[in-house]
Amino acid sequence: MSGTVTLSMEIELAWGTHDRAEYTYFSPDASAELETLTNLLDCCDRYKIPISFDVVGHLLHESCSGEHPGPHHDGWWSEDPGTDSERDPLFYAPEFVRMIENADVDHEICTHTYSHVLGDQVSADVIQDELAKASDVHEASGLEKPQSIVFPRHQTPSLAVLEDSEITTVRRPMDDYSSPSGIVRKFFWALRRTHPVTGIDASGDVLETFCTPHPSLSTGLLPIGQQREPLPLRMIPRPIRQKVHERYIRSAVKSAATTGGYVHLWSHLFNIANEAQWKPLQAGLEHIADKRDAGEITLKTMAELSEETK
């Protein structure tokens, strides 16, 4: 008996917060995120670990005019600079996808919608327009049409909206998962928690893979992207907080292995774009590879999960 683990990573850069016009999590020239992706892909090549990369479609453009006709509300595109990857690398990052495509490991490139649209706040027409644009930009970039989707901020609309697309798998948050509020309470909760077995629902036309609502390959106990952790956390030695997170990743693998169940671990790329987050993640990836090699778990991309159930 072996468990199954899926790893996914959201690549959204400035599109992840363009509706708020807040960009302090990111390095201004996307250099930290690019370096982190390089390190991640090198690590995955070393350990032969596949990842489902959920990419905002607009990032695949080398340039654009900033105008995108469609059913979006007025002002949705106001932050789109209408320039190119050289001048605004947080809005255009086709080299990120080329790096993933050129990796030794066969990663999946799925979609995170075309412009990081919030699925619970827009009509079906907007979702369908986003899926069509994402599919078009994948094809224009020489990629296969996306088979899997992660909706931004886990705002997942009715899956009926996917009926005419080629999407076979969607990642959703667990419904029965909660964490305490307050920095101190969260730290002590993190000391005791273990990652749950999350499950898969293959009963519908689209397979649903479930994850924790918060990122699980990165942690709020450490700096998030380019932002420092809150002062109360800084009073706790960083190596302790890193060990807490490494233990959490190990607990996820153990949950899958000992139950023969399924676990889906994920993060945003910008979350891990600092040295503090990278150390426990790298140790976690090595542990995942060891358990895979020992036959205790198998690694599946989101698309492979769907293929397995056909």
Percentage of residues of the chain with pLDDT beyond 70: 99
Mean pLDDT of 236-260: 97
Domain that holds residue 233: 3-309
- CATH number of residue 270's parent domain: 3.20.20.370
Range scoring the smallest mean pLDDT among 69-73, 183-187, 247-251 = 183-187
Mean pLDDT of 283-301: 98
Q: In the structure, what pLDDT confidence band is assigned to residue 310 with cuts at 50, 70 and 90?
A: low
Q: Please give the tally of structural domains in the chain.
A: 1
Mean pLDDT of 67-79: 96
Predicted confidence (pLDDT) per residue in 27-67, tens digit? 999 999 999 999 999 999 999 999 999 999 999 999 999 99
pLDDT, the chain, mean: 96
pTM over 0.85: yes
Would the pLDDT of 69 be above 70? Answer: yes
SS3 letters across the chain: CCEEEEEEEEECHHHHCCCCCCCCCCCCCCHHHHHHHHHHHHHHHHHCCCCEEEECHHHHCCECCCCCCCCCCCCCCCCCCCCECCCCCCCCCHHHHHHHHCCCCCCEEEECCCCCCCCCCCCHHHHHHHHHHHHHHHHHCCCCCCCEEECHHHCCCCHHHHCCCCCCEEEEECCCCCCCCCHHHHHHHHHHCCCCCCCEECCCCCEEEEECCCCCCCCCCCCECCECCCHHHHCCCHHHHHHHHHHHHHHHHHHHHHHCCEEEEEEECHHHCCHHHHHHHHHHHHHHHHHHHCCCEEECCHHHHHHHHC
Q: In the structure, what pLDDT confidence band is assigned to residue 281 with cuts at 50, 70 and 90?
A: very high
Range scoring the smallest mean pLDDT among 47-61, 118-132, 177-191, 286-300 = 177-191
Would the pLDDT of 309 be above 80? Answer: no
